[in-house]
Structure 1
Amino acid sequence: MAMNLRLTEAETEALRAKAEQEGRSMQEVARTAISQYVADRPARLRAAIDRVQVEDAELLDRLSK
């Protein structure tokens, strides 16, 4: 499926630099980044939940009563 992705000049330059550094195309670097982001979502969600449980433990305890 084709898709247009609009990036700022700074994002384009960062992507170009990363692609050149790794000897890959900009498309390949972007697709890899998207795949990693999607795959890492469950871990990021779990970390956020854990952080809320720790930081708001007192409030959560009061709300449960």
Structure 2
Amino acid sequence: MTLRLTEEETEALRRQAEREHRSMQEEARLAIREHIGRAERSRHIEEITREGIERHAGLLARLAE
């Protein structure tokens, strides 16, 4: 896989890697893992919320009256 970054993105990645004492590759991999983790948690929360709404639809309807 080849990741093409703009000059600005490359420079921001370089600065962040330097601050964290990591290589640019390590920093990019960490950012990707963190992004995917946040997305997975968001999907999980949405799923749990949807299940709760479905399970308690009657109660929620009565509360809305």
Task: State if a TM-score over 0.5 links the two structures.
Answer: yes
Q: Give me the whole-angstrom Cα distance separating, in 2, the residues matched to 1:14 and 1:20.
A: 10
Q: What's the Cα RMSD here? A: 1.8
For the pair 1:38 / 2:36, whether they are aligned, the reply is yes
Q: How many residue pairs end up in the alignment?
A: 46
Identity %: 53
2:25 aligned partner: 27
Task: Tell me how far 1:44 sits from its aligned partner.
Answer: 3.6
Query: Residues 44-59 of structure 1: matches in 2 within 5 Å?
Result: 44-45=42-43, 46=46
Task: Tell me how far 1:43 sits from its aligned partner.
Answer: 3.5
Q: Whose helix proportion is higher, 1 or 2?
A: 2
Query: Residues 1-20 of structure 1: matches in 2 within 5 Å?
Result: 3-20=1-18
Unmatched segments (≥5 aa) in structure 2: 50-65
- Structure 1 ranges of 4+ moved more than 2 A: 42-46
